Amino acid sequence: MIPLIAWRNIWRSRTRSLVVIGAIAIGVWAALFMTGFATGMARGYVRSAVDNIVSHLQMHHPQFKEDYDARFMVDTPGAVADRLREMPSIKAVSARAVVNGMASTPKGARGVQIKGINPDEEAGVTTLREKIVEGSYFLPDRRNEVLISVAMADKLHIKMRSKLVLTFQETSGELTTGAFRVAGIFDSGNKPFDETHIFVDHSDMAALLAPGSPTEDVIQEIAIMLHAPKTAATVSDTLQSLFPGLLSETYHQISPDLEMYESQINTVSYIYLGIIMLALVFGIVNTMLMAVLERYREIGMLMAIGMNKIKVFSMIVFEALMLGLIAAPLGMGLGWVSMLYLGRKGINLSAYSESLRLYGLEQIIYFELPPETYWQAGIFVMFTALLASLYPAWKAISLRPVEAIRKI
Amino acid sequence: MSVIIAKGISKTYDPDGMPVLALQRIDLEIREGEFTAIVGPSGSGKSTLLNIIGGLDKPSEGMVEVGGHMITELSDNELIDFRKEHIGFVFQAYNLIPVLTARENVEFVMLLQQRPKAEREARTKELLHAVGLDDKMDKRPGELSGGQQQRVAVARALAPKPAFILADEPTANLDTKSTENLLDIMAELNREEKITFIFSTHDQRVINRARRVITLVDGAVASDEKRD
């Protein structure tokens, strides 16, 4: 009967209870909304970085990344790439030539990382082709074309069809230069990446990088996309044992910031929930305290006729828990509906595109919420309700029946 | 057989550093089946005495034995359990649980006693029938008149089969008809079931029906009149 009394008690002051239920529900919704936003933003960032820049896995000569020295090439890259394509967990593979060099025009020069790509292979691994905003992706039978970003074009003061001279070290150590013409301008949405990377056709670059060597052997990097990103670490370990002469790394190892972003999703969720629930504690305490003080005489009577302190305490705790039990599903339902809508439509933050670009963040944030966040929110609410009920419940059992009954 | 034996009870309140003597060395013995009224002017110590023999308050001095239990030596938690098993209370302001129906109010104490469901239901019906509220069982206190609420309170007080019932000004908020009706019920329960009733009251109608009248003045027993 204690739960029954508690249940009926919360409806004695319907308006007050509804206000508290509403506050808790909105608090839960707000926490889910903010977590959904933060998760969507973080995952968008990771997705964008994986799709545009790092891929799920990369393989290099073990010494290549020490100084990005083009001499350290992948041994028998054709055989390695063929073996990789046979693996069922691997979705796409792109073998690249990579070198650091200088891009020069009559009006300026910049240090860049030049990637020599096979256009068709690259399209399976990155979204470069879709990011072209002017001109076109590499066309067949065209020689010495280059793709640069909008940001790079601005910095070098060049436009479509402009000429660009690339200078870098051959694998023999000699300096070499090549003249390229801008065929396409892309915008990856990541300003730091765009300002430092340009793309040329692999065969053009290989001819400059290692003259005399078979073109297909001039490979410094193999980028790999997986069917399931979660298997990255496992597949990487497998590749490492299959190809002990190469270094296999996951996107977490290549860009530790991505791992930090992903791992922070849960932390952010807890922080939002924690802050909102902390605020709600005071609201619930206030309501429950009012409920106890209003029923001072009644509680005294209950103790007078034999209701012990544990039962009185439980009754007050039950009342708070029931408020939470009604409010939590409401807030979770609101959150779910919001996620459903904003997960599809997203929030367009293009008004802040410059700042977003600077951090490599997408302009449309599609809300995402890890499913476990829902039950975590539920547990937080119940814990908050329990916590908030302790003081009022303690107040209730601290009263002396003889004094409480005398009160008018 | 004595239901209550109180010896040398004194009670001093000291709310603002100014001690007030509410009861002075009261000796009292209530026997089973008595219908006793404790009367006296306001501030004479009636409610204090009732609270002490009901285990709601503790005396500053003296001892109280109820049904063979020395209640002045019990802790607060033990007193709660003791009251649940041995004492029925009827309060001036009815003090029913407003969110429960008449039936649930009566059943509540038996639930605290962990009595079986069948027994609870049967006794609840029996008691509400005894107080003439068969047709109001599923009404909440707010839907009942003052007299009806007080009758539910009497049924609730009787539910745990207590050693006696303490009624603090039970008729203070009732009209004449309701008062007479309530007193009839209590007198009949006293006569037929040998239930001991102890009232604190100002109400002459209650005093007239009592078979023993203890008068308190300034915290001391001024007279103890037994009527047959």
Closest CB from B83, B91, B108 relative to A1: B108
Query: Residue B193's pLDDT is what?
Result: 80
A199-219 pLDDT, tens per residue? 999 999 999 999 888 988 999
On whether residue A57 sits in a domain, the answer given is no
CA distance B205 to B169: 12
Contact list, B108 vs chain A (CB under 8 Å): 1, 305
Instruction: Spell out the residues 6+ positions from residue B30 whose beta carbon is closer than 8 angstroms to its own.
Output: B2, B3, B4, B36, B53, B164, B196, B198
Query: Residue A406's pLDDT is what?
Result: 67
Contact list, A401 vs chain B (CB under 8 Å): 56
Nearest chain A Cα distance for residue B184, angstroms = 24
A389 close to A316: Cβ distance less than 8 angstroms:
yes
Domains of chain B and any CATH numbers: 35-58+75-226 (3.40.50.300)
On whether residue A129 sits in a domain, the answer given is yes
pLDDT at residue A79 greater than cutoff 60:
yes
SS (H, E, C) B107-138: HHHHHHCCCCHHHHHHHHHHHHHHCCCHHHCC
- Do A368 and A394 belong to one domain? yes
- Do A241 and A270 belong to one domain? no
- Do A45 and A74 belong to one domain? no
CB contact under 8 A, A402 and B57: yes
On whether residue A254 sits in a domain, the answer given is no
Query: Residue A407's pLDDT is what?
Result: 54
- Do A228 and A276 belong to one domain? no
- Do A82 and A31 belong to one domain? no
CA distance B143 to B134: 15
pLDDT at residue A32 greater than cutoff 60:
yes
Q: How many CB pairs under 8 A join A and B?
A: 66
What's the farthest any 2 CA atoms get from each other in chain B?
Answer: 53
DSSP code string of A49-107:
HIIIII-SEEEE-TTHHHHT-TTSPPSSHHHHHHHHHH-TTEEEEEEEEEEEEEEEETT
Q: Which residues of A93-116 are buried (b: 16+ CB within 10 A; e: fewer)?
A: bbbbbbbebebbbeeeebebebbb
- Do A241 and A94 belong to one domain? yes
A103-156 pLDDT, tens per residue? 999 888 999 999 999 999 999 999 889 999 999 998 888 889 999 999 999 999
A57 close to A239: Cβ distance less than 8 angstroms:
yes
Q: Which residue of A has its CA nearest to B113?
A: A306
Contact list, B93 vs chain A (CB under 8 Å): 297
For range A225-254, the mean pLDDT: 93
Query: Residue A270's pLDDT is what?
Result: 81
- Residue A242 pLDDT level (bands cut at 50, 70, 90): very high
Token pair for A294: 């209003």
- Do A241 and A279 belong to one domain? no
CB contact under 8 A, B100 and A5: yes
Lowest mean per-residue pLDDT among A71-80, A270-279, B24-33, B215-224: A270-279
Please tell me whether residue B9 adopts helix, strand or coil conformation.
strand
Q: What percent of chain A has pLDDT over 90?
A: 59
On whether residue A16 sits in a domain, the answer given is yes
A394 close to A288: Cβ distance less than 8 angstroms:
no
Interface test with B, best of A11, A297, A298, A305 (most B CBs within 10 A): A305
Contact list, A5 vs chain B (CB under 8 Å): 97, 99-100
- Residue A408 pLDDT level (bands cut at 50, 70, 90): very low
- Of A388 and B94, the structure prediction assigns the larger pLDDT to A388
What is the span of the domain harbouring residue A25? 2-49+259-406
- Do A267 and A398 belong to one domain? yes
Q: Which residue of A has its CA nearest to B157?
A: A305
ipTM of this predicted complex?
0.87
- Do A171 and A194 belong to one domain? yes
Instruction: Spell out the residues 6+ positions from residue A21 whose beta carbon is closer than 8 angstroms to its own.
Output: A323, A326, A327, A330
Please report which helix (H) or strand (E) contains residue A332, including its range: helix A309-345
Q: How many domains does chain A have?
A: 2
CB contact under 8 A, B77 and A308: yes
- Of A153 and A401, the structure prediction assigns the larger pLDDT to A153
Residues in B lying within 8 Å of A, measured between beta carbons: 47, 51, 54, 56-57, 77, 80-81, 83-85, 89, 91, 93, 95, 97-100, 104, 107-109, 111-113, 156, 160
Query: Residue A401's pLDDT is what?
Result: 86
pLDDT beneath 50: ranges in chain B: none
Nearest chain B Cα distance for residue A252, angstroms = 59
Nearest chain A Cα distance for residue B95, angstroms = 6
Nearest chain A Cα distance for residue B24, angstroms = 19
For range A155-159, the mean pLDDT: 91
Strands (E) across A155-298 are located at 163-169, 175-186, 197-201, 221-226, 247-250
CB contact under 8 A, B83 and A306: yes
Query: Residue A386's pLDDT is what?
Result: 94
CB contact under 8 A, B80 and A12: no
Q: How many separate helices (H) and strands (E) can be counted in chain B? A: 7, 10
Closest CB from A5, A308, A402 relative to B99: A5
- Do A397 and A301 belong to one domain? yes
- Do A387 and A297 belong to one domain? yes
Closest CB from B77, B89, B107 relative to A305: B89
- Do A278 and A324 belong to one domain? yes
On whether residue A251 sits in a domain, the answer given is no
- Residue A362 pLDDT level (bands cut at 50, 70, 90): confident
pLDDT at residue A258 greater than cutoff 90:
no
